[in-house]
Amino acid sequence: MRNAALILGIIGGLWGMLVGFVSFGWTELLDSYRQLEDFTGGVENPALIRATSLAAPILAIAGGGMARARNVLGGALMLISAAGMLYAFGFGVFTMFPIAMCAVGGVLAIAARAPDPH
């Protein structure tokens, strides 16, 4: 189970990076062109989006990397990452996979009792 948590955390973090790049870029675009905010509705809290765009994928990748050696800490980091992405980005077509992968990886890492055979 720890190996599955490792893979899910890393893949979820990479997908989260893609969502983070787009979200951070979108907030920068809205900041540069104020007329787009009137047209699209803007973003309520761009600082939250930017911080989560950076922190959540890093937490997911680090948690996935720790899943084999420090499973409880790695699982907690992946669950925090999933919760952060859900809170900042919402649950949509582009965010459902990184959120689900990080959440399942976190649960698997915490539930793993013994290390996987190598």
Residue 54 φ then ψ, to 5°: -90, -50
Tens digits of residue pLDDT in 67-112 = 999 999 999 999 999 999 999 999 999 999 999 999 999 999 999 9
Q: Dihedral sign, CA of 114, 99, 97, 46?
A: negative
Is 0.95 surpassed by the pTM of this model? Answer: no
Residue 43 φ then ψ, to 5°: -125, 135
Domain locations along the chain:
2-111
Predicted pLDDT of residue 116: 67
How many other C-beta atoms can be found within 10 angstroms of the C-beta atom of residue 15? 22
**Both tokens assigned to 102:** 């990080």
